[in-house]
């Protein structure tokens, strides 16, 4: 029984350390927990080595040979403990905070609930006061116009299963039947979408409107899926171009600008001027980008210039956006299309408030 206890404690110590430990280091840790008596005792050291030999024979631990005269190190064989979770208090708190940003409306879906159950189980290791503080301090605040809908749990489970197995699915969507290869499962504005390949055409489906899902036997590899998406995921009216935007000076301090603060995901340059903060970025001609861009408090738009093009060249922006052109004429043409589309959307929004 004593030997069995020692074997368990060795495994627990290696799990907690989450790294390889030299024999002497392992011995000292076991002395600290009261499992072994004396880190200098040869009798206790032989007892430890016999236990390690047993665990190595069972392939629960592995000996790591060291160079020179350094002693052996020992590490856990993770193949034997694939679903054994090792975590530090810092890791646990970090995961709990991360999950707090997940929309509450979708936490009860069985597929996601499994993950929350794991986090809650681990949270029991923390003092009750700390748990309450975690829940109080970190909370996801939805934006005012964010939408949420009730989802059919079985639909979500089947779609995610098909994605993980690279299988084709059959379902009814808005009264029509589809046979597609699911590619992406994502959220936008609080709602879940399924990106899928339908007859070599990529399209997005609102998950809340998908019904009667059946997972089919036909499979596609990830490599094939990526190739098809690259060929088919095209939005005809979306073309990249370079332009600028003037933001209020109060948006950032000089120190923040020097540290590289970003106001837009596609921003590649910013600077402080007498008029405000000038930001150079990559825009897109389609209404999807225009609609998002109107949310920011922009004082004015700055048309493409030779300077912008030169900075974009120096920073090799085209490597990130292959369809981008370094031609000033092309960038100005696309910028004007962007402005026209923006004016259309703005008129529509103004009419809503005036009606």
What pLDDT is recorded for position 180?
94
Domain assignment of residue 217, yes or no: yes
Instruction: Answer with the one of 33, 57, 81 that is the final residue of a domain.
Output: 81
Residues 228 and 245 in one domain: no
Is the pLDDT assigned to residue 346 strictly greater than 90? no
Range of the structural domain that residue 97 is part of: 89-137
Whether residue 344 sits in one domain with residue 262: yes
When pLDDT is cut at 50, 70 and 90, the band that residue 97 belongs to is confident
Alpha-carbon span 237 to 168, nearest angstrom: 29
Percent of the chain with pLDDT over 70: 92
pTM over 0.75: no
Residues 207 and 271 occupy one common structural domain = no
Number of domains in the chain: 4
- Residue 121 and residue 44 in one domain: no
Residue 143 domain-assigned (yes or no): no
Counts for the chain of helices (H) and strands (E), in that order? 12, 12
Asked if 202 and 233 touch (Cβ cutoff 8 Å), the reply is yes
Per-residue confidence (pLDDT) for residue 200, from 0 to 100:
67
Whether 69 is in a domain gets the answer: yes
In a domain, 142, yes or no: no
DSSP 287-339: HHHHHHHTTS--SEEE---HHHHHHHHHTTGGGT-TT----HHHHHHHHHHHH
Among 232, 252, 281, which residue terminates a domain? 232
Statement to judge: residues 245 and 326 lie in one domain:
yes
pLDDT-derived band of residue 71, with 50, 70 and 90 as boundaries? Answer: low
Same domain, 71 and 101: no
């Amino acid at each position: 029984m004593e030997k069995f206890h020692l074997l368990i404690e060795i495994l627990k110590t290696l799990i907690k350390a989450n790294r390889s430990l030299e024999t002497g280091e392992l011995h000292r840790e076991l002395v600290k927990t009261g499992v072994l008596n004396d880190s200098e005792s040869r009798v206790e050291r032989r007892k430890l080595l016999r236990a390690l030999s047993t665990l190595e024979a069972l392939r629960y631990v592995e000996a790591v040979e060291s160079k020179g005269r350094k002693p052996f190190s020992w590490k856990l064989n993770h193949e034997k403990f694939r679903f054994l979770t090792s975590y530090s208090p810092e890791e646990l708190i970090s995961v709990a905070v991360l999950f707090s940003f997940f929309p509450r409306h979708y936490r009860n879906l069985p597929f996601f609930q499994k993950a929350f159950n794991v986090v809650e189980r681990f949270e029991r290791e923390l003092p009750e006061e700390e748990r309450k503080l975690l829940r109080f301090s970190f909370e996801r605040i939805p934006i005012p116009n964010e939408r949420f809908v009730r989802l059919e749990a079985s639909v979500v489970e089947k779609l995610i299963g098909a994605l993980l197995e690279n299988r084709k699915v059959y379902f009814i969507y808005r009264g029509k039947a589809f046979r597609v290869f699911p590619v992406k499962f994502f959220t936008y504005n609080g709602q879940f979408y399924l990106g899928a390949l339908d007859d070599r055409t990529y399209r997005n489906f609102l998950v809340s409107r998908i019904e009667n899902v059946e997972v089919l036997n036909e499979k596609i590899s990830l490599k094939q899926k990526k190739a098809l998406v690259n060929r088919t995921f095209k939005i005809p009216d979306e073309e990249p171009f370079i332009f600028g935007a003037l933001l209020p000076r109060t948006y950032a301090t000089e120190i923040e600008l020097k540290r590289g603060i970003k106001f837009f995901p596609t921003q590649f340059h910013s600077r402080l001027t007498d008029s405000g903060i000038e930001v150079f970025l990559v825009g897109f001609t389609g209404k999807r980008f225009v609609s998002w861009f109107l949310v920011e408090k922009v004082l004015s738009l700055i048309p493409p210039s030779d300077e912008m093009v030169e900075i974009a060249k120096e920073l090799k922006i085209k490597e990130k956006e292959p369809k981008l052109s370094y031609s000033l004429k092309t960038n100005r043409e696309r910028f004007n299309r962007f402005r026209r589309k923006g004016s259309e959307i703005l008129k529509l929004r103004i009419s809503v408030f005036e009606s």
